[in-house]
Amino acid sequence: MKVLIVGGGGREHALAWKCAHSSLVRHVYVAPGNAGTALEPAVSNVDIAADDIDALLRFAQRECIDLTIVGPEGPLVAGIVDRFAAAQLRCFGPTRAAARLEGSKAFTKDFLRRYHIPTASYATFTGADFDPDYIRAQRLPLVVKADGLAAGKGVVICDTHQFAIDTATGMLAGSFGAAGKTIVIEEFLRGEELSFIVIAADQQVLPLATSQDHKRRDDGDQGPNTGGMGAYSPAPLAAPALRERIMREVIEPTLRGLRQDGNPYLGFLYAGLMIADDGTLNVLEFNCRFGDPEAQAILMRLQSDLIALCDAALKGTLDEIHARWDPRAALGVVMAAGGYPENYRKGDPISGLDAAALLPGKVFHAGTQSQGSQVLTAGGRVLCTVGLGATVGAAQTQAYALVHAIHWSLVQYRRDIGCRAIARERSAQG
Ligand code: AMP
Ligand code: GLY
**Confidence label for 203 from pLDDT (cuts 50, 70 and 90):** very high
Look at ligand 1, atom 9, and give the residue with the nearest C-alpha. Answer: 284
Are the CB atoms for 38 and 378 separated by under 8 Å?
Answer: no
What kind and span of H or E run contains 30? strand 27-32
Tell me if the domain spanning 2-77 has CATH number 3.40.50.12280.
no
**Confidence label for 22 from pLDDT (cuts 50, 70 and 90):** very high
pLDDT tens digits along 221-232? 999 889 999 999
Backbone torsions φ then ψ of 208, nearest 5 degrees? -85, 175
Q: Where in the chain is the domain with CATH 3.30.1490.20?
A: 122-187
Nearest to 392 by CA among 421, 359, 363: 421
pLDDT at 237 over 90: no
Distance of alpha carbon 207 from alpha carbon 265, whole angstroms:
14
Q: Where in the chain is the domain with CATH 3.40.50.20?
A: 2-77
pLDDT at 217: 96
What fold, for 329-428?
Glycinamide Ribonucleotide Synthetase; Chain A, domain 4 (3.90.600)
What fold, for 192-320?
D-amino Acid Aminotransferase; Chain A, domain 1 (3.30.470)
| Ligand 2 pocket: which of 211, 270, 283, 286 to mutate (most atoms within 8 A of CB) | 270
Are the CB atoms for 6 and 78 separated by under 8 Å?
Answer: no
Tell me the CA–centroid distance for residue 62 and ligand 2, in Å.
32
The number of the ligand 1 atom at minimal distance from the alpha carbon of 154 is 2
pLDDT tens digits along 376-416? 999 999 999 999 999 999 999 999 999 999 999 999 999 99
Q: Where in the chain is the domain with CATH 3.90.600.10?
A: 329-428
Looking at domain 122-187, its CATH superfamily turns out to be: ATP-grasp fold, A domain (3.30.1490.20)
Cα dihedral 46/49/52/53 (nearest 10) = 50
Are the CB atoms for 30 and 37 separated by under 8 Å?
Answer: yes
Distance of alpha carbon 20 from alpha carbon 1, whole angstroms:
10
Report if pTM > 0.75.
yes
| Mean pLDDT of all residues in 267-279 | 97
Tell me the CA–centroid distance for residue 309 and ligand 2, in Å.
21
| Mean pLDDT of all residues in 344-361 | 97
Are the CB atoms for 249 and 273 separated by under 8 Å?
Answer: no
pLDDT tens digits along 278-304? 999 999 999 999 999 999 999 999 999
The number of the ligand 1 atom at minimal distance from the alpha carbon of 187 is 19
pLDDT tens digits along 42-59? 999 999 999 999 999 999
pLDDT at 127: 86
pLDDT at 175 over 90: no
Tell me the CA–centroid distance for residue 87 and ligand 1, in Å.
37
